[in-house]
Amino acid sequence: MRTLQGLFLVARHAFAGVLKGRRAVALLLLAALPVGLAFLQVRFANIVTASNFMAVVLLGYFQVVVPFAGLFLGVSVLGDEIEGRTVSYLFTRPVPRWAIYLGRLVGSLAGFSLVFAGSVVLCTALYRGRAVVRWVEAGAAVGSGLLGLLAYGSIFAALRIVLERALFIGFLMGAIVEGAISKMPVSGLSKCSIWHHMALLQTRTTRVAHPKLREFLQGLGPEETVEGSLWVLAGIILVAIKAGVWLVRTREIRVPAAVA
């Protein structure tokens, strides 16, 4: 019971602190980017369709906001404490390491989830003024995006325990795997990306054809199902969380040397 209480307290603290400090500015600007694009398009474009909204979801939210927010938040789960040389003090608290790690991960991701959902709702409201965009499409975008956020955050949080330059490696992963491989034609490689499964969930649950986006969705095979992508994302999340918990329990975390 004490462990669960400690986990809850750590999660609550991380939830409240996710939008404080300099990182909060980057996260808020990141969430505001698709809304800004939507406003400009709705305000100045001659023709606005549901395909425009879907493009913002797939390329704005799923390609930019979700992976980079997951990267920033995941790396910061223990990264701030490691770089601040306070991780040893943190681990002396009467709460198991894994509970501290899991609480900070869940709390920080949950805090940004509210910002993400609000951004999608605002973006949807803007497009509904000019195009036929259903709220079910916004709901699918929020649900798919939050699954992707949890997957990215869990991966990068575990990666930061092992690698000092996890932020740099995360940028490379975003550029190579999520930027290029995820858009490859049906070959099996595109299934290695989280974006692939978020896009499949978004398009298959809304059941709306968007011919203008066919080039970006050519990697989605006709045999793939919503249930299959849900299992893949769930597997990624569970494996990444388990790996992070195991690493934080067994690995010695080295802090940077003090500056003279």
**Residue 73 is assigned to a structural domain of this protein:** yes
Per-residue pLDDT of the chain (260 residues), as tens digits, is 567 777 788 788 788 888 777 778 889 999 999 999 999 999 888 888 888 898 899 989 999 999 999 988 988 877 666 555 555 545 556 667 788 888 889 999 999 999 999 999 999 999 988 888 889 999 999 999 999 999 999 999 888 888 777 777 777 777 666 766 666 666 666 777 888 889 889 988 887 666 667 777 777 777 888 999 999 999 999 999 999 989 888 866 555 554 44
Single out the residue of 74, 140, 58, 71 nearest to residue 107, CA to CA. 74
**Residue 259 is assigned to a structural domain of this protein:** no
**Residue 223 is assigned to a structural domain of this protein:** yes
Residue 142: give the domain boundaries: 2-250
Number of domains into which the chain is organized:
1
**Residue 220 is assigned to a structural domain of this protein:** yes
**Residue 255 is assigned to a structural domain of this protein:** no
**Residue 257 is assigned to a structural domain of this protein:** no
Distance of CA 108 to the CA centre of its chain: 11
Single out the residue of 141, 250, 254 nearest to residue 205, CA to CA. 141
**Residue 137 is assigned to a structural domain of this protein:** yes
| DSSP state, residue 257 | P
Count of residues in the chain:
260
Alpha helices (H) in 63-163, listed in sequence order: 66-83, 87-90, 97-128, 135-162
Single out the residue of 152, 164, 242, 247 nearest to residue 198, CA to CA. 152
**Residue 260 is assigned to a structural domain of this protein:** no
Residues ≥6 apart with Cβ < 8 Å to 204: 225, 226
